[in-house]
């Protein structure tokens, strides 16, 4: 029976129990023949979906082993046939539908999807198309005057003011996507966009949101810090929102479904979402369906960061997976008129993708200048320049970047002692609010949750070190212990990934304190949802956060499936002042060279041309 090979695959950890259960269900339900290549293909789709892919591209896998297996199987590891034969085999199965069908899998040559994800991808495509079809009415004279007031002096006459162009674009379009690395002025740009939108319509209902409570709180702080300095009337400033919501709360998610949908749309005219790279495909589909027909949508994020934890790479797909953004001549000319930027300085093409007219890339970093080693390192990693990055880490004379070479299979004792020392200060703060702010000055980031270099083990080691320094600390819950919520709890408003501190009140009782947008709240320990210690956290969980100093720990294996340039780039760009990378030479080089592009059909469906680099494991770029 086909299950024999599947059982061996799951026993050896090649496929998950979930994949095995899915394949076993298909085999039983449709009485599939022994050794069915269609069944093994279905198992591969399920397994890749759990790794973040929304589909598999059959043309890239034809004539290759379906699974990367370094085991001596009694039979042969399933081998994919040629593409034409493969499509014929899959097309003959009654449980594999065509586009638009309701079926366990959908075949849209050359891609094969789980049925649910084909429909989700097309719901996102349709939602983006709806946004692009709307053209807001604007007072161009008022907008031009506003842009001149908020951007009074050209920074460099030889290159366009990226923030000014991005601001004009966002006001012009119903859909605007602002992408840039750390310190490129994304929040500054958005605050000016909101001010100009309110000058166009003072009654515009604007809502701020982010994928996590942590990102929402940081968004509020950033907007509050920047809005007061704007050359805008007080009445307009007062209407710029100072509250933000998580996306799940905005969409009225109750643990079972979304209350906001196409039949019960959101009550807003403009939705601004920060940290958009964290939005997965299902959440984006629900969001677009709940958006009112004429509402504006502004997405902010860094397209070079790690993609969402769950399946999809929506921001990457929307922005062309790293392709250069060029505007249509019509949009370029309109931008030139509004901003006084010479049209020849704007990237323009008569073959521009329609979606590109809604995208602004902010590339000039105001935090990391040209001489900043953190900035230089992040750019080298982002370009796949492993030799240059390693040289910078080895020979840099500044304190901004440091490489602590990992020579074994576990983290060196000295690094743990440094982490213990770095964490010792925040528990001396006078208040839990001050402690939360101080705690964000330093963080240990790991690539993985498990193993000798994973979050679980590093948290254990740091906890033991801190207890040696302060023997009075309890082994399970103690004053100053950071905790991370691991489930979504809709009653408390605490969600997976939220971080707080255990803090003793005046009576000596421990409570858990968390930052919410605009406030800090405390909870009795008995009411706290499931949680774990959080001196160390994964790079994925760190998205939406910034710290003064970061220790980034990579796994020792140079072929670890999570090791890639996006992970290293994201870890580096969480810090403001110093990054220490603890990794072996081989793992660091391999990770920087490996570009992880998730398999998806969304980018092409939105008009982007397919590039040779859209491969699962990528390669070093020149």
Cβ atoms within 10 Å of 262's Cβ, excluding its own? 13
How many Å apart are CA 546 and CA 541, to the nearest integer? Answer: 12
Strand bridging mode 519-524 / 510-516 = antiparallel
State in Å, rounded, how far the first CA of the chain is from the last one: 48
Please give the sequence-ordered ranges of beta strands (E in DSSP) within 374-434, or none if there are none: 401-405
Q: Nearest 5°: CA angle at 619, between 615 and 621?
A: 120
Comparing CA positions, the residue from 330, 378, 339 lying closest to residue 357 is 330
Cβ atoms of 319 and 606 within 8 Å: the answer is no
How many Å apart are CA 91 and CA 86, to the nearest integer? Answer: 8
* Bridge partner residues of 503 (DSSP): 511
Cβ atoms of 556 and 451 within 8 Å: the answer is no
Cβ atoms of 480 and 474 within 8 Å: the answer is no
pLDDT along the chain (622 residues), means of 10: 70 89 90 84 95 94 82 65 95 95 96 97 96 92 94 73 94 95 88 96 94 83 85 89 89 87 94 94 96 95 88 93 92 94 91 92 81 90 93 89 87 87 84 90 93 92 81 64 86 83 85 83 90 92 88 89 91 92 93 90 91 45 32
Cβ atoms of 319 and 300 within 8 Å: the answer is no
How many Å apart are CA 518 and CA 137, to the nearest integer? Answer: 33
How many Å apart are CA 166 and CA 154, to the nearest integer? Answer: 14
Structure tokens that stand for 88 in this block: 């014929």
Q: In the 8-state DSSP scheme, what is residue 345? A: G
How many Å apart are CA 251 and CA 493, to the nearest integer? Answer: 14
Place of tokens 């979304």: 258
| Per-residue model confidence (pLDDT) at position 415 | 85
Comparing CA positions, the residue from 495, 502, 532 lying closest to residue 439 is 502
How many Å apart are CA 218 and CA 517, to the nearest integer? Answer: 8
Longest dimension (CA), the chain: 76
Contacts of 545 (CB under 8 A, 6+ apart): 214, 215, 218, 440, 443, 574
The H-or-E segment that residue 116 falls in is: helix 115-133
| Per-residue model confidence (pLDDT) at position 617 | 37
Cβ atoms of 298 and 131 within 8 Å: the answer is no
Q: Nearest 5°: CA angle at 366, between 185 and 221?
A: 45
**Cis bond upstream, residue 110 (ω within 30):** yes
How many Å apart are CA 180 and CA 347, to the nearest integer? Answer: 17
Q: Is 305 exposed, middle or buried (0-12, 13-18, 19+ CB in 10 A)?
A: buried
């Amino acid at each position: 029976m086909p299950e024999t090979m599947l059982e061996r695959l799951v026993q050896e950890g090649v496929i998950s129990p979930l994949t095995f259960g899915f394949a076993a269900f298909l085999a039983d339900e449709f009485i599939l023949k022994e050794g069915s290549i269609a069944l093994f293909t279905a198992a591969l789709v399920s397994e890749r979906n759990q790794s973040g892919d929304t589909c598999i591209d059959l043309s890239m896998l034809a004539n290759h082993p379906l699974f990367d297996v370094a085991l001596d199987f009694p039979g042969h590891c399933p081998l994919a046939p040629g593409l034409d034969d493969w499509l014929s085999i899959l097309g003959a199965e009654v449980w594999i539908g065509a586009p638009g069908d309701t079926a366990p899998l959908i075949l849209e040559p050359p891609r094969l999807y789980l049925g649910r994800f084909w429909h989700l991808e097309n719901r996102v495509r349709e939602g983006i198309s709806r946004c692009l079809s709307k053209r807001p009415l604007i007072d161009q004279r008022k907008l031009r005057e506003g842009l001149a007031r908020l951007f009074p002096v050209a920074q460099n006459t030889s290159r366009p003011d990226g923030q000014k162009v991005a601001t004009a674009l966002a006001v012009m379009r119903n859909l605007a996507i602002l992408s840039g690395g750390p310190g490129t002025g994304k929040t500054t740009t958005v605050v000016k966009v909101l001010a100009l939108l309110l000058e166009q319509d003072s009654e515009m209902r604007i809502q701020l949101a982010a994928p996590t409570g942590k990102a929402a709180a940081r968004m509020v702080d950033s907007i509050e810090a920047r809005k007061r300095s704007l050359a805008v009337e007080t009445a307009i400033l007062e209407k710029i929102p100072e509250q933000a919501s998580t996306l799940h709360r905005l969409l009225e998610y109750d643990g079972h479904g979304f209350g906001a949908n196409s039949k019960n749309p959101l009550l807003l005219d403009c939705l601004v979402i920060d940290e958009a790279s964290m939005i997965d495909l299902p959440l984006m589909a629900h969001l677009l369906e709940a958006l009112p027909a004429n509402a504006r949508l502004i997405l902010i994020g860094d397209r070079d960061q790690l993609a969402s934890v769950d399946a999809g790479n929506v921001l990457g797909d929307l922005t062309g997976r790293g392709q250069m953004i060029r505007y249509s001549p019509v949009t370029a000319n309109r931008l030139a008129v509004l901003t006084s930027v010479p049209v020849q300085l704007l990237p323009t093409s008569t073959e521009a993708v329609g979606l590109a007219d809604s995208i602004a890339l902010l590339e000039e970093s105001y935090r990391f200048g040209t001489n900043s080693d953190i900035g230089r390192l992040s750019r080298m990693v982002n370009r796949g320049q492993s030799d240059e990055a390693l040289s910078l880490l080895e020979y840099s004379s500044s304190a901004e970047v440091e490489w602590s070479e990992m020579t074994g299979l576990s983290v060196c004792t000295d690094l743990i002692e440094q982490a213990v020392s770095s964490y010792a200060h925040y528990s001396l703060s006078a208040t839990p609010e001050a402690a939360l702010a101080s705690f964000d000055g330093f963080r240990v980031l790991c690539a993985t949750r498990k193993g000798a270099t994973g979050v679980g083990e590093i948290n254990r080691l740091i906890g033991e070190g801190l207890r040696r320094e302060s023997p009075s600390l309890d082994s399970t819950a103690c004053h100053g212990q950071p905790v991370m919520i691991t489930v979504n709890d809709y009653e408390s408003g605490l969600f997976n990934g939220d971080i707080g501190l255990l803090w003793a009140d005046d009576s000596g009782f421990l409570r858990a304190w968390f930052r919410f947008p605009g406030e800090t709240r405390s909870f009795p320990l008995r009411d706290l949802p499931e949680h774990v210690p959080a001196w160390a956290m994964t790079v994925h969980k760190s998205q939406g956060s910034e710290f003064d100093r970061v220790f980034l720990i990579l796994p020792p294996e140079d072929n670890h499936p999570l090791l890639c340039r996006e992970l290293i780039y994201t870890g580096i760009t969480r810090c403001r002042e110093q990054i220490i990378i603890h990794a072996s030479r081989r793992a660091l080089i391999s990770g920087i060279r490996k570009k992880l592009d998730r398999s998806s059909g969304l980018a092409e469906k939105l008009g982007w041309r397919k590039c040779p680099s859209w491969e699962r494991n990528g390669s070093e770029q020149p």
